[in-house]
């Protein structure tokens, strides 16, 4: 019997047990899904960063660690983890991220705050059309590309940026340092959907924030460390940036006394941009168990050298 250890923490078990059992039943796999087991008998580990399992050494039979989170920065550097690590690519999570990004882009594009928060007046400031609004998406992976395509579908003038060179996406795609500069210089709204790695830490520093046009808006549902906090505050205070909508932070929950909390040009959302949805994620996990059991290539395997 194949043993699958749900090690994503006791708090998530009630949410995941039924969808996982349903997906396993649907697949017809003979699997024992447990929350506790002799490590030497475990074939697959379902994981989340808050897991009590931090030392993978005793899991000698384990074929894969299946992360419920898309971001893997808290596990990818674990030296005891020698088994393949798969990250979460979940259609429900992607849908959620698209909705978050489109909603916040539209807020800034349409200048909604003026009417929702401002005194009722009669200043007829007509927003440009979406086709006249350049939006840049940093990261053209599962989430960034889905968001870029959704925004392009609304006629926004979207371009993206990624580590590797890309073509055939149906939108301008930049890469490399020169590409980053070109993308930032053209983007009135920037969405950051990059993973946290050694290379992306403080990617948006003072110099690069300076490349953005006057009044530009940043929407960061990627990771807090992508942006230099002090440089962001300085750019907002100087009026160079118009607003920042931030979902992720270096320290979470964001401390009450953090400068981001009460800044008039910062909107804080509490890491809710996109959650993994148990019903669709369970199917993704079970598909990887099926593949692992059949000796087929696993889906969404993390490249340890790249860090994502
Ligand atoms: N706020 C939330 O609720 C929430 C939820 C889920 C995920 N997230 C965050 O979103 C991130 C992205 O998720 P995803 O599923 O889209 O990841 P993904 O599919 O791995 O895509 C990552 C993208 O970032 C690019 N990239 C990585 N390192 C880069 C670098 N040094 N320079 C330029 N581009 C780089 C990759 O380029 P290549 O295409 O060339 O590889 C890829 O396009 C996650 O890592 C996580 O941090 C946040």
Shortest CA distance to 80 belongs to which of 240, 304, 285, 308? 304
Match 């698209």 to its residue by tokens.
Answer: 98
Give residue 200 CA to ligand 1 midpoint distance, Å: 10
pLDDT average, residue stretch 70-88: 96
Which residue, by CA, sits nearest to atom 48 of ligand 1?
A: 222
Predicted confidence (pLDDT) at residue 121 exceeds the cutoff of 90: no
Tell me, what's the pLDDT at 280?
96
Burial of 262 (0-12, 13-18, 19+ CB in 10 A): exposed
Which residue, by CA, sits nearest to atom 45 of ligand 1?
A: 195
Burial of 99 (0-12, 13-18, 19+ CB in 10 A): middle
- Ligand 1: which of 73, 146, 194 to mutate, most ligand atoms within 8 Å of CB? 194
Give the number of the atom of ligand 1 that is nearest the alpha carbon of residue 194.
24
Instruction: Tell me if the pTM is above 0.95.
Output: yes
Tell me, what's the pLDDT at 223?
98
Residue 236, CA distances (Å) to 44, 154, 213, 257 in order: 46, 28, 12, 18
pLDDT-based confidence at residue 123 (cuts at 50, 70, 90): confident
Shortest CA distance to 191 belongs to which of 169, 177, 164, 212? 212
- 223 catalytic per annotation: yes
Give residue 25 CA to ligand 1 midpoint distance, Å: 32
Tell me, what's the pLDDT at 283?
98
Both tokens of residue 144? Answer: 């960034």
Which residue, by CA, sits nearest to atom 22 of ligand 1?
A: 141
pLDDT average, residue stretch 268-291: 97
pLDDT average, residue stretch 285-298: 98
Give residue 225 CA to ligand 1 midpoint distance, Å: 13
Q: Cβ < 6 Å from ligand 1: which residues?
A: 70-71, 93, 139-144, 162-164, 193-197, 199-200, 221-223, 247-248, 271, 273-274, 308
CB 296, CB 64: distance < 8 Å: no
Both tokens of residue 37? Answer: 């087991």
pLDDT digits (tens, 9 = 90+) for 213-263: 999 999 999 999 999 999 999 999 999 999 999 999 999 999 999 999 999
pLDDT digits (tens, 9 = 90+) for 149-200: 999 999 999 999 999 999 999 999 999 999 999 999 999 999 999 999 999 9
Both tokens of residue 97? Answer: 């991220």
Quote the CA–CA distance of 281 and 82 in Å, as a whole number: 24
Which residue, by CA, sits nearest to atom 7 of ligand 1?
A: 70
Q: Which of 186, 223, 243, 283 is catalytic?
A: 223
Predicted confidence (pLDDT) at residue 286 exceeds the cutoff of 90: yes
CB 39, CB 25: distance < 8 Å: no
Predicted confidence (pLDDT) at residue 67 exceeds the cutoff of 90: yes
Shortest CA distance to 244 belongs to which of 257, 235, 252? 235
Tell me, what's the pLDDT at 119?
76
Angle at 49 between CA 19 and CA 9, to 5 degrees: 50
């Amino acid at each position: 019997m194949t043993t699958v250890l749900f090690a994503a923490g006791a708090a998530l078990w009630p949410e995941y047990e039924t969808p996982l059992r349903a997906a396993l039943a649907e697949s017809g796999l003979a699997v024992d899904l447990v929350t506790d087991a002799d490590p030497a008998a475990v074939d697959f580990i379902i994981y989340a960063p808050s897991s009590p399992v931090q030392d993978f050494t005793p899991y000698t039979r384990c074929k894969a660690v299946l992360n419920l989170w898309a971001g893997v920065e808290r596990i990818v550097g674990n030296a005891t983890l020698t088994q393949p690590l798969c990250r979460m690519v979940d259609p429900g999570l992607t849908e959620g991220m698209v909705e978050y990004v489109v909603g916040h882009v539209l807020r800034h594009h349409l200048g909604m705050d003026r009417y929702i928060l401002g005194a009722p007046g009669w200043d007829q400031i007509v927003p440009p059309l979406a086709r006249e609004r350049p939006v840049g998406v940093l990261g053209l992976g599962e989430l960034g590309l889905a968001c870029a395509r959704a925004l392009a579908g609304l006629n926004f003038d979207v371009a993206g940026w990624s580590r590797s060179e890309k073509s055939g996406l149906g939108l301008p795609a930049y890469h490399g340092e020169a590409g980053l500069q070109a993308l930032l210089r053209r983007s009135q709204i920037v969405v950051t959907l990059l993973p946290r790695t050694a290379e992306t830490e403080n990617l948006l520093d003072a110099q690069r924030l300076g490349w953005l046009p006057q009044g530009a808006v940043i929407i960061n549902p990627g990771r807090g460390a992508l942006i230099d906090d002090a440089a962001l505050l300085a750019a907002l205070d100087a009026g160079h940036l118009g607003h920042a909508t931030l979902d992720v932070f270096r320290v979470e929950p964001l401390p009450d006394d953090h400068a981001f909390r009460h800044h008039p040009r910062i909107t804080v959302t509490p890491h809710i941009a996109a959650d993994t949805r148990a019903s669709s994620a369970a199917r993704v996990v079970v598909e990887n168990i099926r593949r692992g059991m059949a000796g087929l290539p696993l889906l969404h395997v993390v490249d340890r050298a790249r860090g994502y």
